[in-house]
Structure formats: structure tokens, C-alpha cells
Structure 1
């Protein structure tokens, strides 16, 4: 009976995050042994322009990525894509000498800051990206993340 309850809870949890049992098996198996595809995104630039470079990302569900975020500007910026973050499995975020595991919804990068976000998109969709600092989104610091099957 305990085994049945545990299986039921696992299936309910997987349903809540949008993963299938097959995806969960891949996450714990061979997928984590595969090298992550590295993508670099700059939050702003040295001219302090309010934009993401690039501002359009195309990803595949079930594939492992290493998102290298940099902030070369003199202003702090946020990488905010809450709906996207809800539909991915985060392996880790590394910044400086800190490694963070678990659900991540937003990253703040201070001037000259860098972070690595390793994750696997779990389902397809179109997601908006923005810097949530007042005035930055309105000035054009937006983007799109597209995840396909």
C-alpha cells in the first residue's frame, strides 16, 4: 500500500510540473551525462543599452542547456521569465563560489556579474523574457524564449 501511495504522489508531482514519467527517467539517467548546449546571453551592454543580446532563444524540450548570463553594463539587470522557469527542471545555478539547486524564477546580475544556469525545458511553449527593474521593460529590455518538441 505504501508503494502505491508513493507512486501516486510521484505521478501527482510530475503532473504539477508538467513532466511525464519518461522525462523524469531521462533527467535522472543519461541526459545528465550529456554535455549541455551552451548559450550566452548578455543583459545590457557596455553602452548601458537596455536590451538582451540575443533577445530570442530557441530551445528543444528534453535537451540540457547551460545558459551563461553576463552583465557588462554599469546597471543591475534581472533575467525574468517566470512561466519559462515554471516549465523547466533546473539542475543548478552557479554564481561566484555558490551553487544553487531547486526552483529558480529570476536572476539578478549586478554590474560585471556572471551566472551559469543549467536546466532542461520540460515542455514546448512561447515564453516572455524581461528585466523587471522599473523602466527597463518599458525601454525595450524584453525577449522571447521558444521551446519546441
Structure 2
């Protein structure tokens, strides 16, 4: 019985420790990114949040990335309404090099970007985790009106 309790304790302890390190996995992987990757030109993709007719949609609303490749996501809001680019699960699985908006450069974890009318932002990142992620604008009524999208991160 004592052996069983010891094994059960070790199992629980290892489970707790392994779960506590899950949040650090993307950071650990990012720390090991080859430095030449960060020197390579980023693949540029532009996404409009809304349009000049104030339609509630992302253009395009389907984005595809490759894990381990560097991207420059240019976000633009040509509408007269503010919009959010929200994809938390996607953001949790990438390494953000920087976000630039106006004369400000932001580094670190980003989960959501708000773009006011006419605003633009550049998000430079490397996807680390493959998967299918949802994109939406979290302003009340915008998601329901169709301001949604899909992000897919695949392997080479």
C-alpha cells in the first residue's frame, strides 16, 4: 500500500509540474529560434478590418501560415468604426517579435489589437503551434454580424 501511495504521489507531482510548464513552451521554443530566421524577410499579408462601406467583415477572413516562418501581418481599418483583431488561441501559439503602430513599437505577448478608424498596425511574428484558430471582432454585435474569420497554421 505504501508503494502505491508513493507512486500515486509521484504521478500527481509530475502531472502538476508538466502542466505548469505548458505556458512556457512557446517562449522556450522562441528562445531557440535560429537567429538567421529573424534576419530573413518576413512574408507580408494584409488584412482589412472592415471596409470603406463600413461592412462588418475581415478581408480576407481566411489566413494561412506555416509554423516556423516569419510573417508581417499588416492590419488596416479603412472603415469609420473601430474594430478588434482578436484570436487569443492563435496569439498564444506564436512568438511575437514586435507590433508597430504609429510611432510605438510593442514587444511581448499580444492577444488582441484594437484599430480605430483609419488606423494601421504591423505585427511581426513566427507561428510555433499548428492548428485551426478562430478570428473575430469582439465589439458587441460585430461577431454576430459576420466579422469572423479562420486562421490555419500548418507545417511545411
TM > 0.5 fold call: yes
Structure 2 alignment gaps of length 5 or more: 1-18
Q: Distance in 1 between matches of 2:28 and 2:51?
A: 41
Checking the alignment, whether the CA contact within 8 Å between 2:94 and 2:125 is kept in structure 1 is yes
Secondary structure of the structure 2 residue equivalent to 1:85: helix
Q: Distance in 1 between matches of 2:144 and 2:27?
A: 37
How far apart are residue 123 of structure 1 and its match?
A: 1.1
- Residue correspondence of structure 1 range 6-17 to structure 2 within 5 A: 15-17=22-24
Per-residue CA deviations over 1:65-119 (Å, capped at 9, x if unaligned) read 0000000000000000000000000000000000000000000000000000000
Which residue of structure 2 lines up, in the alignment, with residue 135 of structure 1? 141
Which residue of structure 2 lines up, in the alignment, with residue 3 of structure 1? none
Per-residue CA deviations over 1:45-76 (Å, capped at 9, x if unaligned) read 00000000000001000000000000000000
Structure 1 alignment gaps of length 5 or more: 1-11
- The verdict on how the C-alpha distance between 1:136 and 1:75 changes in structure 2, with shifts beyond 3 A counting, is same
Secondary structure of the structure 2 residue equivalent to 1:26: coil
**Alignment of 1:123 onto 2:129:** yes
Q: Distance in 2 between matches of 1:34 and 1:135?
A: 40
Normalization by structure 1: what TM-score? 0.86
Q: Distance in 2 between matches of 1:104 and 1:13?
A: 21
Which residue of structure 2 lines up, in the alignment, with residue 9 of structure 1? none
